[in-house]
Amino acid sequence: MSSNNTISHEIADILRDEILRQRYRSGDRFPSERDLAARFDASRGAVREALSQLEQLGLIHTQPGGARVQSVNSASLAVLGPLLALDDHPDPLLVDQFLQTFSVLTSMTVKNAVNAASPEQLTQLKQLLVELANHSDDIEAMQPRWREFLEAMSTIADNLVVRLIRNDLKAQFVDQMMKRGFQPDLKKGSTDRLLTTLGESLSKRDGELASKAMQNYFEELRGTVGKALRFNSEGHRSEQFSGA
């Protein structure tokens, strides 16, 4: 998990998962710090630091007199990762929701980047696209280049809000999937089509076109990933999930 190997993080991880697994109902009283200290055989200070993390996640609310459990719906974005990691198989619905969200944000970024890029940045982007095209056969090799390309787009678009959201989502989700060794096997045609259209949009400086291309790509990705996950969750443990 995300845990540092400190006691307080361990405690936080355990309690967080218990809350996410609905072991306490929203509004319930949370065990007192002294009880938790006894339960985990730790000092109250360590427990307090753990509770501080849970409070930052929006999972509990502490007040003199007692802490109370809050609804997951009102939690912070940072609970997504733990939520996905709760079971062996990630929840297909949640994954799909993630992809859809990531799609609209990425499309927006791409659109703004293409429209706002300086001539130098345009050539840089084209260069990265060529790099990608050169490795379109090897998904492994494309991964870091995609990252670089999207990072460049993100820098050019220069929208801090989206950047922060994508930070969180990436930390919560992408890394989670990577750790599980998940590799979506998109047909090569889809990727090639995306690369071509992106190149075209760069030449024409047509952000809308780039955005649409990105959306279509994610649409296909959602289909593929959804199929793989559903197949997987039916018990046919595929090799796509090697497990951390």
Partner DNA sequence: GGACCAAATTGGTCAGACCAAATATAGAGC
Partner DNA sequence: GCTCTATATTTGGTCTGACCAATTTGGTCC
Provide the token pair at 169. 């989502």
- Minimal distance in Å, beta carbon 67 to DNA? 4
Closest by Cα among 129, 102, 151, 144 to 202: 129
Which part of the chain contacts a second copy (CB under 8 A), choosing from 46-54, 142-150, 189-197, 202-210?
Answer: 46-54
Choice between 101 and 233, CB closer to a second copy: 101
Choice between 41 and 137, CB closer to DNA: 41
Cα 95 from Cα 172, distance rounded (Å): 11
When asked if residue 52 is in the footprint of a second copy (CB under 8 A), the reply is: yes
- Minimal distance in Å, beta carbon 77 to DNA? 23
CA-CA-CA-CA dihedral for 32, 35, 37, 40, to nearest 10: -120
Phi first, then psi, for residue 60 (nearest 5°) are -135, 165
Q: Are 218 and 106 in contact (CB under 8 A)?
A: yes
Q: Tell me which of DNA, a second copy, none is bound by residue 106, counting a contact when its beta carbon lies within the kind-specific cut-off of 5 to 8 angstroms.
A: none
Choice between 46 and 229, CB closer to DNA: 46
Cα 60 from Cα 30, distance rounded (Å): 8
Draw the binding track, 59-98, toward a second copy (x: CB under 8 A; -: no contact).
Answer: --------------xxxxxxxx--x----------x--xx
Q: Which residues bind DNA (CB under 7 A)?
A: 4, 6-9, 29-30, 32-35, 41-46, 48-49, 51, 62-67
List 2, 26, 159, 190, residue binding a second copy (CB under 8 A): 159
Which part of the chain contacts a second copy (CB under 8 A), choosing from 15-23, 26-34, 50-58, 113-121?
Answer: 50-58
From residue 7, alpha-carbon distances to 37, 41, 44, 112 in Å are 11, 10, 11, 44
Closest by Cα among 29, 23, 20, 28 to 73: 20
When asked if residue 169 is in the footprint of a second copy (CB under 8 A), the reply is: yes
Angle between helical axes of 119-134 and 188-204 (0-180°, round to 10): 160
Residues in the site for a second copy, rule: CB under 8 A? 45, 48-49, 52-53, 56-58, 73-80, 83, 94, 97-98, 100-101, 104-105, 107-108, 159-165, 167-169
